[in-house]
Amino acid sequence: MTVGGPAGISYTLLDPSQRNSALGSKCALAVMAKAPRPGQVKTRLSPPLTSEQAAALNVCFLRDTTRSIAEVAATSDASGLVCYTPVGDEGLFDDLLPQGFVLIAQRGDGFGDRLLAAADDILACGFGAVCLIDSDSPTVPTGAYRQAVAELGRPGDRIVLGGSNDGGYYLIGLKKPHPEPFAEIHWSTSTVYEETVSAIARAKIELVELPIWYDVDDGETLKLLQEELLEGVTPPFAKAPGYPAPSSREFLRELAGGQPMTVAAQRRWAAPWQTNAALVLIGAGLLLLTRQLISEFDHFTIGLSGVSGWSAILYLLAVAVILTMPVNRFTFGIILAFAVAFRLVTLLPAPHLSSDVYRYAWDGVVQHAHISPYRYAPGDPALTALRAPNQDLFNHINRRDYARTIYPPAAEFLFYLITFVRPTMTFMRGAMIAFEGLTLYAIVMLLRALDLRREQALLYAWCPLLVWEIGSSGHVDSAVIAFVALALLARYREQAILTGLFLGLAVMTKFYPLVLLPALFRRGEYRMPATLAAVIVFGYACYSSAGIHVFGFLGGYAQEEGIETGARYFLLELAQHAPGLQGVSTGMYVAFAALVFAALTAWCWHTCCNPAWPRPGRVQTRLFGLPADAGFLVPAFSLALALMLLFSPHYPWYLAWLVPFLTIVPDLTVFAYVLGLFYLCTTAIAVGSGPLEFLLNKILYAGVAVAFLLDVLLRRFKFVPRTQETMNR
């Protein structure tokens, strides 16, 4: 099969099921490459480059790498290939590759799976050996490729490995599809090369190591590249000159305006140390404000609104820094250190913003007495014996005289486990902070899988809403967020059972994540919903001795919060204030909300639920800079956001679960919503319900509307995808 472009160049599309024995003497030099779409390639170079510049530079890297390979193939038993993703974007390689190159599609879930599958498929085509080469190292000396071909051409089995100076590798060559080098490797870390060498040694396979080189994936290595190409400075670890990479050199020269990049960089680019210095200053300010929050509980200085307002401002400044400035290996450590410090400040002082955490610990204590927390309200005489040993918990429980627990079974099981270690409010809050660590792990793994910088996790780690509502108040929403983040990671990896398990745990901790089901489901893959259903059934079965009371105070809470009557639905109340719409009922509004979710579900059904999807170029991936196979994230984010906007929760911690989505898909509208409610809930109008609550929501939703319009304008005039011809110049 061939695919061709407007320039008349056609590339053969290899099919692993059709073996060509004539290739047996050939070594395939296969470049692992993504189709060059702005916002989806070389994202860690943006900043300092724009997404369009990063995509154009990616094209240059691909041109230079394949040109270097073509030179080697012309004088040896080698052939050039590009192992590409995503399927359907073959046309984007038109006029990029030298004559004689062929294409083969990538497959597999994680990075290691894709490498192994690529080796397996290429060898299945008939090649005698294969070298998998990254597309980030345009100046690898051609001698390294020649050496790899020669070593794999000798009799006997062996693996060839070319290490990068960052601890990874730029080439791995095999004669057989050995799984060992790709299994249990911590990808995207500085230990990849070391772990791979160890795995090869354990498998007792001969290893040949090539000269060390480097890949270009951040601001620092981009400067190393420009020093090599524009100033003739050989990298300090290099034993031979690198490939001249003419396309990359010309691009960098144009980018620098005809001057060496270092001069241009000094004038126009921030250095990573400046990013780190800015983050240290901002982090110190946020730390002082977190300490001020604790102080405000005892005596008024600038008020909670002053603390929240300045915290939001500094947080947004930190977000701007991390999204627009270059980073280095120290940046992530700075982010983590301050994130931990914020939460340590809030851990020991008693919570003042909410008393829910006392109920969590009390429910655990009740279960350790072999009593279901769904049977009795804390003030019930049946629990009198538990009060004296746990008087501090009992004294601070809200609704203690009439409300049985409202929390679903997974939450109750967590309370049981946590209080098994130590039945105190402080330990319970510490456990909720630990769940944040699990969330951060999932977010970092997902960012890496999406080829986004891990430092973007700052958007979660430094969010003041989370510091206040989880660090200080210890809300169980922290566990919900962790389970949701793990479900998103499992869904990206196409691990159906784990997706259902984590989504089920999230739903059984608080019900609202069930709204994500349409986005996480894939047609024909029923293990995920089956696992979700099994978790729900098992959870309630564990507490079935309480009978109908297993649903706890849910009905009473719905009535108390105005969920049944619609008194809390801002958009309904807003409609009722409009001329001619005074008669809109709660039932009509619920029907409208159902139509909204039906439309969103239909969108999911035809896109991310469809096995034939993803399709490249979709708005939900193109506009947000996501790879096509992560297209479910925007529908999931939309479902979560729609639920919050339609039912307008008036407690800020209910919006906390939007922050992981916001971290992966930064969006001005959601920043306005999350931080707007966070701030407004600390002002004088956040007292009680009625007219003041309606005023608060009018201000909030007006701000969200303005942010949405501004976001549309920014995307309209700043996100202008380059044509392929422009990128291929």
pLDDT digits (tens, 9 = 90+) for 507-533: 999 999 999 999 999 888 899 999 999
pLDDT tens-digit readout, 288-308: 999 999 998 888 889 999 999
DSSP H or E stretch at residue 707:
helix 691-718
Is pLDDT above 50 for 285?
Answer: yes
CATH 3.90.550.10 residue spans of the chain: 2-215
Helix or strand (DSSP H, E) at 83: strand 78-85
- Assign 719 a pLDDT band (cuts: 50, 70, 90): very low
Please answer whether residues 509 and 480 qualify as being in contact, where contact means their C-beta atoms are separated by less than 8 angstroms.
Answer: yes
Is 206 a residue whose pLDDT tops 70? yes
Using CA atoms, how far apart are residues 136 and 133, in angstroms rounded to an integer?
A: 9
Give tens-digit pLDDT for 310-353: 999 999 999 999 988 877 789 999 999 999 999 999 999 999 88
* Lowest-confidence segment of 204-208, 604-608, 625-629 by average pLDDT: 625-629
In whole angstroms, give the CA distance from residue 382 to residue 403.
Answer: 14
For residues 505 and 502, what is the distance between their CA atoms, to the nearest angstrom?
A: 5
pLDDT score, position 449: 78
Mean pLDDT across the chain, nearest whole number? 86
**pLDDT value for 554:** 65
Tell me if 339 sits within 8 A of 659, measured CB to CB: no
Report the alpha-carbon distance of residue 136 to residue 132 in Å, rounded: 12
Residue 13: in which H helix or E strand, if any? strand 10-13
Question: What is the rounded CA–CA span in Å between residue 202 and residue 185?
Answer: 14
Dump pLDDT digits (tens) for 500-514. 999 999 999 999 999
Phi, psi of 129 (to 5 degrees): -160, 165
In this structure, what token pair is assigned to residue 563? 């969920």
57 pLDDT band, cuts 50/70/90, is confident
Q: Rounded CA gap, 487 and 636, in Å? A: 11
The dihedrals phi and psi of 35, each to the nearest 5 degrees, come to -60, 135
Architecture of domain 2-215: Alpha-Beta Complex (3.90)
Mean pLDDT over 49-75 rounds to: 87
The pLDDT, as a whole number, for residue 194 is 93
Residue type for position 651: Y
As a whole-number percent, the residues of the chain with pLDDT over 90 amount to 56
Report the distance separating Cα 404 and Cα 257, nearest Å. 70
Q: Which of helix, strand or coil describes residue 207?
A: strand
Instruction: Give the DSSP H/E element, type plus range, for residue 174.
Output: strand 169-174
Alpha-carbon distances, residue 104 vs 16, 138, 153 (angstroms): 8, 21, 22
Query: What Rg value do the Cα atoms of the chain yield, rounded?
Result: 28
The span from the CA of 263 to the CA of 269, in Å, is: 10
pLDDT for the residue 561? 60
3-state SS, residue 569: coil
pLDDT of residue 473: 93
Q: What percent of the chain has pLDDT over 70?
A: 88
Sequence-separated (6 or more) residues with CB below 8 Å from residue 539: 408, 409, 410, 413, 504, 508
The candidate with the shortest Cα–Cα distance to 449, out of 108, 56, 92, 65, is: 108
pLDDT in tens, 445-497: 998 877 678 899 999 999 999 999 999 999 999 999 999 999 999 998 889 99
Which position has the higher pLDDT, 628 or 255? 255
Amino acid 612: pLDDT: 64
Question: Given pLDDT bands bounded at 50, 70 and 90, which one contains residue 725?
Answer: very low
The pLDDT assigned to 3 comes to 43
Q: Which of 9-18, 93-102, 271-280, 680-689 is the least confident region?
A: 9-18
pTM for this predicted structure: 0.72
pLDDT at 657 over 90: yes
Residue-level pLDDT at 39: 59
**pLDDT beyond 50 at 549:** yes
Whether 4 has a pLDDT exceeding 90, the answer reads: no
- What's the pLDDT band for 586 if we cut at 50, 70, 90? confident
pLDDT band at 702 (very low <50, low <70, confident <90, very high): very high
For tokens 């031979």, what's the residue? 240
Q: Given pLDDT bands bounded at 50, 70 and 90, which one contains residue 99?
A: confident
CA pair distance 678, 659, nearest whole angstrom: 12
Q: What HEC string does 121-163 produce?
A: HHHHCCCCEEEEEECCCCCCCHHHHHHHHHHHHCCCCCEEEEE
54: pLDDT strictly greater than 60: yes
State the Cα–Cα distance between residues 634 and 518, nearest whole angstrom.
12
Amino acid at site 483: F
Beta strands in 197-346 (DSSP E): 207-213
According to DSSP, residue 242 is labeled P
In angstroms, rounded to a whole number, what is the distance separating the alpha carbons of residues 45 and 43? 5
436-466: b or e for each residue (b if 16 or more CB lie within 10 Å)? Answer: bbbbbebbbbbbbbbbbbbbbbbbbbbbbbb
Instruction: Write out pLDDT tens, residues 351-406.
Output: 988 999 999 999 999 999 999 999 999 999 999 999 999 999 999 998 888 888 88
With a cut of 90, say whether residue 728 has pLDDT above it.
Answer: no
Phi, psi of 209 (to 5 degrees): -100, 130
**Between residues 310 and 562, which one has the greater pLDDT?**
310
Parallel, antiparallel or unpaired: strands 159-164 and 169-174: antiparallel
DSSP structure class, residue 469? I
Q: How confident is the model at residue 625 (pLDDT cuts 50, 70, 90)?
A: low
